[in-house]
Structure 1
Amino acid sequence: MYATRPALRRVRLLFSLLCLMMGLTMFLSPPTTTAKSYHKAVWIPVDSTIERGLESFLHRAFAEAQEQQADLVILHINTPGGEVNAADQIGQLIRQSPIHVIAYIDNQAFSAGTYIALNANEIIMTPGSSMGAATPIDLAGNAADIKFISGWSNKMKAAAELNKRNPEVARAMVEIDTEFPGLKPKGTVLSLDAQQAKKLGYADEVVSGKEELLAKLGIQADSLQAIEPTGGEKVARFVTSPFVMSALLVIGLVGIVVELFAPGFGVAGTISLVSFGLYFFGHYVAGFANWLHIGLFVIGILLMILEIFLPGGIVGAIGFISIVTGLVMAAYDTQQGLASLGVAALITAIVTFLLVKRYGVKGLFNKFILGDIQRNEEGYVAPRDQRGLHRKTGIALTPLRPAGVVKLEGNRVDAVSVGGFIAAGTAVVVVQVEGTRVVVAEQEQKE
């Protein structure tokens, strides 16, 4: 009996050691569940400046990703920032998407780009890339007012908290007067490189490049579907930029004014039409303009032309209102549309003043008003005797179809051709004068 007790102890000891080893093995071994695998991933670029055209493209891209039943969206972010309002809408799009979203930053994601990245489920960066510096600025390049900065700071903090990131770091990226010990003194804004972002929990992973990123996600490069902007969307992104939008309106309005100083329809009128065409095309592709807005603009132009033949001001005023309404409603934001149109109108007014000063009012309106004014108090004024122009030679200033304007002895004279069409610049001779009616023909060239 005594001989069996040591044996029992050894058996119990071995059993205990076995249980302990099994427990340690289960504790120390990695979990049996592997990282989530994705059956369909799409790659969407978020580059250049962030504006409303990008927002429109991303709405289309996310919708297409859902149609393809993708379960992963990789946003390739490389942007210096852009419009806060556009970034806000893009952030909302990402939050509401049922698809897992990864923000991949391989260069920069500053300002509004940081906000977009913070709304993603994960942020993955490459060495040498940066994010942050999200203080909003105005068109003059100065920091926005304190009320706007406070609101944007709250949005950045809320986006950081979505995935349990330190909201104070996001706050330090926006507020200049906020101090972040060890990273940012007062008077500056915080930006993070990849290693700093990883240490602070703002980057979930740091990878060497796209190949390592896909390897970590278990995605084959040839199975990755890229959704790129179309040619029209690229034009829309360019056109809907506030600076470009204002420039197109300036060119369009100035072109109309310059055209009024030049008889006939020439280069200025063509450039004006192209500018307005690009404006409406870009906003239409981006989803901000529709046929109603384009129709209002076209009707306004027609009414302004009709005012030439139906003077009185009412038709012209309605046409002007119609043009303004069409341009402003076509913009993605009414306030931005009014601001851009206001800048364009101011510049156009300055150009008009300079042209009137150079050429006089007559140069602007000589196609639309009569040269002689009949006043009752002065009695009847006989029309100027033009019989002395007979056999005089000159040059056609405008095409004659058959009516037009010719230059005779240094003066502009309304005339009609004796027969068919006479092109502008053609040498002419007066063949008949009947009262105020001057008839011209092409001058025969001597060999």
Structure 2
Amino acid sequence: MGRKKSLLASILLLCLGLMSFIPAVASSGVDAAEGRMVYWIPVEQEVERGLLRFLERGFREAEEAAARDIVLEMDTLGGEVNAALEIGKLLRASEIPVTVYIKGEAISAGAYIALNADHILMTSGSAIGAAEPVTITGEQADPKTVAFWRSNMQAAAESQGRDPDIAAGMVDRNIEIEGIKEKGELISLSAGQAVELKMADELVADEEEVLRFLNAEDAEIVRTDLTVSERIARFVTSPYVIPVLFTIGLAGIAIEFFSPGFGIPGTIGIGAFALYFFGHFLAGFAGYETLVLFIIGLILLALEVFVAGFGILGILGLIALVAALVTAAPNVIFGVVSLLIAFAVTAVGVFIAIRHLGTRGVWKRLVLFDDQRNQSGYISQVSRISLMGKKGKAVTPLRPSGVAVIDGVRQDVVSDGGFIPAQAPVEVVGSEGVRLVVRQVKDVQDSSAEDPVE
């Protein structure tokens, strides 16, 4: 019996020991797994707000997974300044070390993002720099904008121990750096030059060398890819795509307005606006209130077309529609400019279409386009020319207007001068529109005037 008790006690102690050991093993397993993952995130094409949202998701997932490093594989010619500034903040705030691996180009906004990273690695043939700000038309930005962007480039370089003067030379043509840059030029560095000037850490050949630099050869690489919705958001929020979507949307609705029925043009137009709102909603620019405002605008415009009114509904609908489009844009000024461009292009297209193809559909029901000509059977009033010279008798006194019987028919007449008493003989001497002008005569032989015809 005592042996059984001691055996049972031993088993219980063994179980307790195993239970206490299991959490330790699990904990050591988690500790071993944590810090062994490297999140690999592509930074390609344009820098815009859609890219910002994608990177925010990637950084959040990396932090939740307790990754040891984040690698941004970069190949971009730049893009929107405001989006680049936000991405720069994201990199500086990251608790996980960030390495930018420039596999192609890091131009303009791309250069700014790279300068905010803990490490910059470049492949042979890659480049970094040429970060002069330009307008959407490609013209050089004003001095105020250049100074603003230059100071941000310098701050990004200083934050990671890189030369701020070289960073400024990537932006401002007026800066001169002895042995590196002459006045009137922009700095754009090849991979070898960037490493030599300590703007990049090392020249690498491939991903393996990137991992070797990070001492993460045995790490698990987690590749973060764009979802379908993120791809749409990146495409739609591009500053070059927004004016095109506006133009397609306005042109589609305009064509539908001037053609019968509701078909392909109207569907394409509404589809373009829907794509615009969907992409900006995913990118975080447009909220439900913007979408509701847009729908209200469409409803008011439809009511103006199909319900008789004084144009108030149409004006309110247009205001709501424009407000929704502008407020959903990344920048209000940019949204207004894009919309004006779209309006101008659409107006020119509609003018050309009306001139060569004519008008049909709803617009034709709102405006009278027919010429009323006698050749087409239109007669505005009955001609009185045939009554010239006819004689009759005044039925009422003409003071100067009244009624007379002319050629057996009662007519509204007016005297050509003074008062003509009733029953006085008269003669038609003129025809002015609907009026007959008569004159009193001395002798009437027209028997038809004796008996008025009612």
Q: Same fold (TM over 0.5)?
A: yes
The answer as to 2:46 corresponding to 1:49 is yes
1:97-108 → structure 2 map (5 Å cutoff): 97-108=94-105
SS at match of 1:155: helix
Q: How many angstroms apart in 1 are the aligned matches of 2:56 and 2:339?
A: 27
- Are 1:268 and 2:265 counterparts? yes
Could you say which residue in structure 2 is the equivalent of 1:343? Answer: 341
For the residues of structure 1 that align with 2:154 and 2:367, how far apart are their CA atoms? Answer: 63
Give the counterpart of 1:314 among 299, 312, 315: 312
Counterpart Cα distance in 1 of 2:111 and 2:240: 23
Deviation track 1:341-398 (CA, whole Å, cap 9, x = no partner) reads 111112122222223333556766223457899xxxxxxx89xxxxxxxxxxxxxxxx
Note if 1:86 corresponds to 2:83.
yes
Change in 2 beyond 3 A, CA 1:281/1:337: same
One-letter code aligned to 2:133: P
Give the Cα–Cα distance (whole angstroms) in 2 for the partners of residues 119 and 179 of structure 1: 24
| Letter in structure 2 aligned against 1:201 | K
1:304/1:272 CA distance change after superposition, 3 Å: same
Do 1:61 and 1:227's aligned partners in 2 also have CA atoms closer than 8 Å?
yes
**Taking structure 1 as reference, are residues 108 and 68 closer, same or farther at Cα in structure 2, changes over 3 Å only?**
same
Equivalent residue for 1:287?
284
What residue identity is the alignment partner of 1:325?
A: A
SS in 2 for 1:45: strand
Q: TM-score when scaled to structure 2?
A: 0.71
The yes-or-no answer on 1:122 pairing with 2:99 is: no
- Indicate the SS of the match to 2:241: helix
Query: Does the 8 Å CA contact 2:46/2:76 hold for their aligned counterparts?
Result: yes
Q: 1:27-426 to 2 correspondence within 5 Å?
A: 38-220=35-217, 223-308=220-305, 309-360=307-358, 365-368=363-366
Distance (whole Å) between structure 1 residues aligned to residue 202 and residue 359 of structure 2? 68
Judge conservation of contact 2:157–2:164 (CA < 8 Å) in 1: yes
Cα separation, partners in 2 of 1:313 and 1:186, compared to 1, 3 Å: same
- Asked if 1 retains the 8 angstrom alpha-carbon contact of 2:260 and 2:361, the reply is no
Q: Which runs of 5+ in 2 are unaligned?
A: 1-33, 372-379, 382-454
Instruction: Output the CA distance in 2 between the equivalents of 1:80 and 1:126.
Output: 16
CA distance in structure 2 between the aligned counterparts of 1:140 and 1:276, rounded to whole angstroms: 23
SS in 1 for 2:324: helix
* 5+ long unaligned stretches in structure 1: 1-36, 374-380, 383-447
For 1:431, the equivalent position in structure 2 comes to: none
Provide the identity percentage. 45
Q: Which amino acid in 2 is paired with 1:85?
A: N
User: Number of aligned pairs?
Assistant: 341
Q: TM-score, normalised by structure 1?
A: 0.72
CA RMSD of aligned residues (A): 2.3
Contact 2:50–2:283 (CA<8 Å) still a contact in 1? yes
SS in 2 for 1:265: coil
Q: Equivalent residue for 1:378? A: none
Q: Which moved more, 1:44-53 or 1:58-67?
A: 58-67
